[in-house]
Structures are given as structure tokens and as C-alpha cells.
């Protein structure tokens, strides 16, 4: 894609946003790489350093050794406590402040949309939120940072302070169902928007990847911003093969220019 073509596409997306009043943004790992969080599946990603089989819910529940690996991963990575929103997150938050955005549906667990200023009630986290830890016995919730400090204090597998039960990051492990109410609400928004914008998702992980299909079936325009091709490119109204931060920053500037 030439620079001129990309600029024309960015301008076209800005026009679509300016004409829309019910926008849904769908984000994947590519929306957060600029914040220093590596894509789990790409070369050099998390799954090249850790075995995904150690992150199944059955193994987590049955194996103290697996739980120890989990907490070691969290302690060593530091990814989810130190990361800050990037230009893509900030642009999405600005769309909400402008009254254009109705919902953010995200596959990410990094809490960066909320940090950027999106209303948490408008953010639908299909795979959970790594900022929290939940006790599987009594349902008590803790901030991840407080639990990591507990681990650093000597216990490499922290336990619930209330009942000494098993603590689990409040995210979806392999083999777990997506949270039903979140999935229902996200689907409802996808089916009722007038513009659906995908940012940084390969759209290969289901059922999350059904969301753009729901939007298109209901008559919404579909825009995909991703560095690599996706299975939905042929269905999209516009496809931008570009980095999330740079593209969203320029798109937002185009929207503001139109509305000023």
C-alpha cells in the first residue's frame, strides 16, 4: 500500500466516523503493542516463552506447580502493571468524549481502555481483566498489584487472605467459557451499531471474532485496521494495513477537522 493510498483510506475512515453516531470499536492485541505488551501469538510473543498448555483452567485448578508458573510469569513480566495507554487507546477514548462511541469490545485484558478514559461501563472485556485477581472459593477480588506484592514478600503462590482459597487472575483461561452476560451485551452492541471498527485483531479467536460478522449482517459499515490480513478483509468496507496508534491518531485528527 502506498502512502498516498493510506492517507486516502485514513481520510475515508474519518469521514465515516463523522457521519456515524453509534460506533463500536473492537480491539485485539495489536492495539496494545505500542504500550509494550507483546502480541501473545506473534514471533517473540508470550507463547514463545511459556507453554499455553500451562494456562488451561483444568491444569491450573489441579496442579500447584502450574499455579506457581502462573505467578512466576506475572512477577517476571511486569507487563500488566506498568503499561500505559497509547495513541490508539487515547483516540478511542476521545471518540467516546465526542459522543460518537457507544461501546468498546476488547479481547485484551490490560485495562488500558479504562486507563485512557473510556467509561468502564462501556468497555466489554470478553477475556477478562488482568488488573484483578479472584478467589475461586469465596469470590473475593483483589487488585493484582497488591497480590504481586504479597508474592514478592515470600509466597510464590499467594492465597486468599479471607479464606486461604486458590487465587486466579480474573481472565479467561484456555478451556473456560467467556462471561455470558458480557458476551450477550457485546453482541447486542455489535448488532445495533452503524459503524464497527476493528483495531489490531487478527479475528481468528472465536467466539470473539463473530462480532464483526454480527455488525455487517445488521447493516453496519466495517473498518479493519490491522498490520496483517484477516479472514474478514473481503467483507470490510475499508481495510487499513497500518499500526494502530499511528492510524488512529491520524483518523482522529481528520474527524476533528471535519467537525470544527
Kindly report, residue by residue over 235-253, the tens digit of the pLDDT: 999 999 999 999 999 999 9
Residue 174 — very low, low, confident or very high, per pLDDT cuts 50/70/90?
confident
- Residue with the bigger pLDDT between 26 and 176: it is 26
Can you give the pLDDT at residue 80? 59
Q: pLDDT per residue over 175-194, tens digit each?
A: 899 999 999 999 999 999 99
Q: Which domains does the chain have, with CATH numbers?
A: 1-37+85-127+179-260 (3.40.50.1220), 38-82+130-171 (3.30.1600.10)
pLDDT band at 79 (very low <50, low <70, confident <90, very high): low
Q: How far is CA 187 from CA 88, 92, 191, 233, in A?
A: 23, 19, 6, 20
% of the chain surpassing 70 pLDDT: 88
Reply yes or no on whether 127 is catalytic: yes
Count CB-CB contacts under 10 A for residue 76. 10
Which cell numbers hold the place of 88?
A: 490508539
pLDDT tens readout for residues 200-238: 999 999 999 999 999 999 999 999 999 999 999 999 999
Chain-centroid distance, C-alpha 35: 12
> What is the grid cell recorded at 244?
494502530
Whole-number pLDDT of residue 42 = 58
Q: Which of 89, 113, 127, 189 is the catalytic position?
A: 127
Tell me: the pLDDT tens digits for 27-77?
999 999 999 887 765 555 555 566 667 778 898 888 888 888 877 776 665
> What SS3 class is residue 174?
strand
- Does pLDDT of 173 surpass 90? no
Q: How far apart are CA 234 and CA 17, in angstroms?
A: 21
- Please report the pLDDT score of residue 158 as a whole number: 83
pLDDT above 70 (res 112): yes
User: Which pLDDT belongs to residue 221?
Assistant: 98
pLDDT tens digits along 83-99: 899 999 999 999 999 99
Amino acid at each position: 500500500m502506498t502512502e498516498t493510498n493510506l492517507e486516502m483510506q485514513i481520510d475515508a475512515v474519518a469521514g465515516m466516523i463523522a457521519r456515524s453516531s453509534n460506533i463500536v470499536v473492537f480491539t485485539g492485541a495489536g492495539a496494545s503493542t505500542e504500550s509494550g505488551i507483546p502480541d501473545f501469538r506473534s514471533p517473540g510473543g508470550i507463547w514463545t516463552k511459556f507453554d499455553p498448555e500451562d494456562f488451561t483452567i483444568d491444569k491450573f485448578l489441579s496442579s500447584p506447580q502450574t499455579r506457581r508458573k502462573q505467578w512466576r510469569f506475572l512477577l517476571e513480566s511486569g507487563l500488566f502493571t506498568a503499561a500505559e495507554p497509547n495513541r490508539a487507546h487515547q483516540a478511542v477514548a476521545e471518540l467516546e468524549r465526542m459522543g460518537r462511541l457507544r461501546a468498546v469490545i476488547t479481547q485484551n485484558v490490560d485495562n488500558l481502555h479504562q486507563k485512557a478514559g473510556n467509561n468502564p461501563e462501556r468497555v466489554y472485556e470478553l477475556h477478562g481483566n488482568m488488573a484483578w485477581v479472584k478467589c475461586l472459593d469465596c469470590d473475593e477480588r483483589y487488585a493484582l498489584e497488591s497480590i504481586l506484592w504479597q508474592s514478592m514478600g515470600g509466597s510464590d503462590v499467594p492465597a486468599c487472605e479471607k479464606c486461604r482459597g486458590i487465587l486466579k487472575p480474573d481472565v479467561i483461561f484456555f478451556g473456560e467459557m467467556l462471561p455470558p452476560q458480557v458476551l450477550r451485551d457485546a453482541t447486542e452492541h455489535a448488532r445495533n451499531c452503524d459503524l464497527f471498527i476493528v483495531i489490531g485483531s487478527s479475528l481468528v479467536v472465536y467466539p470473539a471474532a463473530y462480532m464483526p460478522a454480527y455488525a455487517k449482517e445488521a447493516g453496519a459499515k466495517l473498518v479493519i485496521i490491522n498490520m496483517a490480513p484477516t479472514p474478514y478483509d473481503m467483507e470490510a468496507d475499508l481495510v487499513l494495513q497500518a499500526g494502530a496508534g499511528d492510524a488512529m491518531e491520524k483518523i482522529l485528527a481528520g474527524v476533528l477537522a471535519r467537525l470544527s
